[in-house]
Structure 1
Amino acid sequence: MKILAVSDRVLDKLYHGHARHTLPDIDLLIGCGDLPFYYLDFLTSAFDAPLVYVHGNHDHGPQYGDDGRVWSEVRGGVNIHGKVVARRGLILAGLEGSMRYKAYSDYMYTEREMRLVVAQLVPRLLWNRQRLGRALDILVTHSPPFGVHDRSDLPHTGFKVFLSFLRLFKPRYHLHGHIHIYRQDEVTRTQVDETTVINVYPYHVLQLD
């Protein structure tokens, strides 16, 4: 199983007709937010793979593509915010957006607001654990957990509830975006208990056994 996760930045390396030759054998696409819908749509076609995604804090709709088309959502993709889904034998859950730093935004949350969204996932995850022996394989978010890959300013502060989530449900991976990387020595992969947290900005290929 080979997963291509993307976030926050359109890459010429992927946004061209030979993308499938650059990164062959991609089985699943994961969008971690703040990417144009037309770009995600292109990736689903270029790699001929299913897409799941969450919105970032800068996402908005409708969006306008390079050809003038209006995009209200990603055609061929599934928005998994607040959902638990199965794809390619994996169990995934998604949580969109960032910490709220404006009075109103569709994709910003206070810590309390995010806790309420997370609470809606709990019954399905407990059911998975009882029936399947595991609650979740991959958590997909835009923002990182608090204190892991995040920044000190409010817009880039991670959510504390994500830490509780990881310790309770123990997914193998937590993939996030939102935190832009400008230096090669910045940490993008951190272990939190049994979960490997990865900042996928601007893309990351994850190979699963």
Structure 2
Amino acid sequence: MLDIVAVSDEERVYISNKIKNCDILLGCGDLSPGYLDFLMNILKPKISLMIYGNHDKKYFKNLYNVELTGFSKTYKGLEIIHQDIINLKNKLNINKNVYISGFSGAYSYGKKPFHFSEKDAKIFKRILGRKKAFKLIKDIDIIITHSPPGLENLFEKDISAFHKGSSIMANIYMKYFPKIWFYGHIHPRYTDQILNFRIHYKNKISYLLNSVPYKYVRYDEEKKEVVEIIGEEKKIKFKDIYF
């Protein structure tokens, strides 16, 4: 059983009162290096991975030093997985392959990798496609992004075009249908909309989870099933989407 903590956008030191440890820490963007260092110290994850949000540019004096893969010099102890895929099997000493991938930035205009366009999302889609074609991956268990994928019928009320998400990322979601997709960018305290979703497709279920400020997930990597989901809310509300 894997204990996963995903965080994004809003820094909450009280997490230490709610969660004592985890196997995997996932940073989904717009968090300071100091805060993520704090979480690594209190949660003591076996592995810490991250992508960038649209406000993370301020932590880099020189944008040529922005790492897209590998361990970060700015976010010490965290591994960047922008457009990358990692198998956690050996890193966590588990029996099953557990693949995780990530993509940085908000779907908007601005400097890459803190912002992205549909053209950039297409590159990510091609990278995943090549790895699948060469049988380097079969399935993806977890994907982390800053913006949500632009799936149809997610939001019931009007929301800005850039917050709705990329249609190419929606294509990626439906093609690979990960067990869990964590995203940030949309702050629950600024809206009354449901931001956590159960996606139903071909008798399978995927969870699209808003990680602002955090989500804790217990994942059975043997059965490939989500066992438990805990967030800041007393009880998480889900919207069921059927395709």
The letter of the residue matching 2:163 is H
Q: Does 1:145 align with 2:149?
A: yes
CA contact (8 A) 1:84 1:124 kept: no
User: Within 1, Cα distance between the matches of 2:7 and 2:167?
Assistant: 23
Worse-matched range after superposition: 185-194 or 139-148: 185-194
User: Within 1, Cα distance between the matches of 2:208 and 2:56?
Assistant: 23
Q: CA RMSD in A?
A: 2.3
- The unaligned stretches of length 5 or more in structure 1 are 64-70
Length, aligned pairs only: 192
| Cα deviation 1:77-101 (Å, max 9, x = unaligned) | 1010010012235210000101123
Match of 1:9 in 2: 10
Shift of 1:128: 4.0
| Cα deviation 1:173-198 (Å, max 9, x = unaligned) | 11101110027953122133342111
| Cα deviation 1:15-36 (Å, max 9, x = unaligned) | xxxx2x6312411101110000
| Cα deviation 1:139-195 (Å, max 9, x = unaligned) | 111110114359632442301112211221121111101110027953122133342
Q: How does 1:29-178 map to 2 (within 5 A)?
A: 29-49=25-45, 50-60=47-57, 61-62=59-60, 73-87=74-88, 88=92, 89=94, 90-102=98-110, 104-126=111-133, 127-129=135-137, 134-146=138-150, 147=152, 148=154, 152-178=159-185
TM (normalized to structure 2)?
A: 0.71
Q: How does 1:178-197 map to 2 (within 5 A)?
A: 178-182=185-189, 186-192=193-199, 193=201, 194=204, 195-197=206-208
CA contact (8 A) 1:57 1:98 kept: yes
Match of 2:218 in 1: 207
Runs of 4+ in 1 over 6 A off after TM superposition: none
- Aligned to 1:188, the other structure's residue is in SS state coil
User: Within 1, Cα distance between the matches of 2:158 and 2:184?
Assistant: 13
Q: Which structure exhibits the higher relative contact order, with contacts defined as CA atoms closer than 8 Å and separated by 6 or more residues?
A: 1
Q: Assess, with a 3 A threshold, how the Cα gap between structure 1 residues 101 and 95 changes in structure 2: closer, same or farther.
A: same
Match of 1:67 in 2: none
User: Within 1, Cα distance between the matches of 2:149 and 2:33?
Assistant: 25
Q: Assess, with a 3 A threshold, how the Cα gap between structure 1 residues 183 and 97 changes in structure 2: closer, same or farther.
A: closer
Shift of 1:206: 0.6
CA contact (8 A) 1:101 1:154 kept: no
- Aligned to 1:139, the other structure's residue is in SS state strand
Q: Assess, with a 3 A threshold, how the Cα gap between structure 1 residues 161 and 107 changes in structure 2: closer, same or farther.
A: same
TM (normalized to structure 1)?
A: 0.82
Q: Assess, with a 3 A threshold, how the Cα gap between structure 1 residues 76 and 174 changes in structure 2: closer, same or farther.
A: same
CA contact (8 A) 1:128 1:136 kept: no
